[in-house]
């Protein structure tokens, strides 16, 4: 009966499922510089966020990450305009005043000719990073950081108090920004000033994150039962080697630094070691958990949708499908079928994730 309730009743989806889906979408974005695919990934993540986010203050962080992505693109284009050379293209757009540099900076120029090829390349590179940031913003908007930390396995409890500061800083930053703007409107100050609002927002977000970490520590978060020293060392070693294997495998898959079998093997070995560490560390937990988040069919569907999107992009890259990397910056971007279908599967969470009631949307524990 409980499994049926998990499938039918409105509830908050497990935060780990949202993070896995968002990271898979970020992996898909990292495999291409095609603007059509990048815009499609951004549209898919934005649609899922708008369909399944709650009314909590931190749920509006996707807009903040979107603005951060636009800033990244602007900075990337400006730097490329200042540092580009004619060797990056022949289509001259305009010429900036060139600043002479000393002899030790030979080979580097500041200003001069700016070509269309250089600016379009910078636009595509900045767009790729911006879309990856928006995928992380989608995870912050959909998953409650507090509920995510409650779901950490026993092997990672020691890092939980430190992670809470990192994971709650961005949502608290958005919340404090809205609070500061509302306070300025009440005082009759309609024009926002970055100089007068940046410091209160940053200070308030950091203070709230540190206070939450201190409250968790004072309430015994991360306390574990007594375990033999050999078991603790084995758990720590498995966690370290597992994380190194996962990082090595993911880096090799994303950058083609290794052959695909070796990269996949390193990733699989890292995942197995990490799972073994979780299983061993779970035995150290001596307390019960109040209202644990269920992991039912909707969670599996959400994670599978993200895995299909990332897998389709990785397979297309391995097979050399035309369209992931453009032949030139000024060519018309093609639309490869396999990556497009894989990214569109990422829309499944908008339907598979259980909806939130209006009362549940306002305050997700």
Q: What is the pLDDT of residues 140-182, one digit of tens each?
A: 888 876 677 666 665 566 566 666 666 666 666 767 777 777 7
- The answer on 253 and 317 residing in a single domain is no
For the chain, the domain total comes to: 2
Q: What three-state secondary structure class fits 98?
A: strand
Q: Is residue 198 part of a domain?
A: no
- The answer on 21 and 138 residing in a single domain is yes
Give residue 40's pLDDT: 95
Quick one: DSSP state of residue 86? G
Give residue 357's pLDDT: 60
Provide DSSP, 267-286.
HHHHHHHHHHHHHHHHTT--
Q: Which residues of the chain have pLDDT under 70?
A: 1-10, 57-58, 85-88, 105-108, 145-146, 149-172, 174, 189-196, 213, 216-228, 231-232, 253-258, 260, 278-292, 357-365
Q: Is residue 344 part of a domain?
A: yes
- The answer on 78 and 21 residing in a single domain is yes
Q: Of 268, 286, 304, at which residue does a domain stop?
A: 286
Q: Is residue 159 part of a domain?
A: no
- The answer on 277 and 304 residing in a single domain is no
- The answer on 331 and 352 residing in a single domain is yes
Q: Is residue 178 part of a domain?
A: no
Q: Of 286, 306, 321, at which residue does a domain stop?
A: 286
β-pair partners for 96: 112
Q: What is the pTM of this model?
A: 0.72
Give residue 365's pLDDT: 44
Q: Is residue 193 part of a domain?
A: no
Residue range of the domain that includes 126: 7-147+295-362
Distances (CA, A) of 208 to 175, 204, 263, 362: 10, 6, 40, 20
- The answer on 117 and 51 residing in a single domain is yes
Q: Is residue 165 part of a domain?
A: no
Give residue 135's pLDDT: 92
- The answer on 140 and 21 residing in a single domain is yes
Written as six digits, the tokens of 163 are 């992670």
Q: Is residue 195 part of a domain?
A: no
- The answer on 310 and 280 residing in a single domain is no
Give residue 115's pLDDT: 81
Q: Is residue 239 part of a domain?
A: yes
- The answer on 278 and 356 residing in a single domain is no
- The answer on 45 and 135 residing in a single domain is yes
Phi-psi region of 291 (alpha: psi -120 to 50; beta: other; left: phi over 0): left
CA distance 57 to 141: 9
Give residue 91's pLDDT: 79
Q: Give start and end residues of each alpha helix (H) in 9-159.
A: 15-30, 35-52, 61-83, 116-142, 145-150
For 307-342, the pLDDT digits (tens) are 999 989 988 888 888 888 877 777 888 888 999 999
- The answer on 303 and 264 residing in a single domain is no
- The answer on 115 and 83 residing in a single domain is yes
Give residue 168's pLDDT: 65
């Amino acid at each position: 009966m409980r499994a049926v309730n998990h499938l039918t009743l409105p509830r908050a989806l497990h935060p780990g499922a949202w993070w896995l889906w968002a990271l898979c979408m970020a992996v898909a974005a990292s495999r291409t510089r095609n603007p059509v695919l990048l815009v499609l990934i951004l549209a898919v993540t934005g649609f899922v966020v708008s369909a399944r986010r709650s009314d909590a203050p931190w749920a509006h962080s996707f807009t903040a990450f979107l603005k951060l992505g636009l800033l990244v693109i602007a900075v990337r284009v400006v730097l490329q305009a200042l540092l580009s050379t004619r060797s990056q293209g022949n289509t001259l757009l305009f010429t900036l005043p060139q600043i002479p540099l000393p002899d030790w900076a030979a080979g580097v120029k500041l200003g001069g000719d700016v070509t269309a090829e250089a600016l379009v390349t910078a636009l595509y590179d900045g767009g790729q990073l911006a879309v990856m940031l928006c995928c992380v913003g989608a995870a912050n908007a959909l998953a409650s950081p507090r509920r995510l930390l409650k779901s950490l396995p026993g092997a990672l409890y020691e890092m939980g108090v430190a992670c809470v500061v990192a994971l709650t800083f961005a949502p608290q930053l958005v919340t404090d920004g809205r609070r500061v703007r509302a306070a300025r409107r009440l005082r009759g100050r309609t024009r926002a000033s970055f100089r007068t609002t940046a410091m209160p927002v940053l200070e308030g977000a950091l203070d709230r994150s540190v206070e939450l970490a201190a409250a968790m520590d004072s309430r015994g978060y991360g306390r574990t039962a007594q375990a033999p020293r050999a078991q603790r060392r084995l758990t720590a070693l498995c966690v370290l080697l597992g994380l190194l294997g996962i990082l090595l495998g993911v880096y090799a898959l994303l950058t083609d630094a290794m052959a695909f079998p070796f990269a996949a093997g390193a990733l699989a070995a890292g995942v197995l070691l990490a799972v073994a560490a979780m299983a061993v560390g779970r035995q150290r937990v001596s307390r019960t958990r109040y209202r644990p988040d269920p992991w039912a069919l909707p969670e599996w569907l959400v994670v599978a949708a993200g895995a299909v999107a990332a897998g389709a992009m990785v397979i297309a890259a391995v097979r050399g499908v035309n369209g992931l990397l453009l032949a030139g910056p000024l060519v018309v971007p093609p639309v490869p079928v396999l990556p497009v279908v894989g990214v569109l599967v990422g829309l499944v969470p908008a339907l598979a994730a259980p909806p939130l009631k209006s009362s549940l949307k306002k305050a997700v524990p």
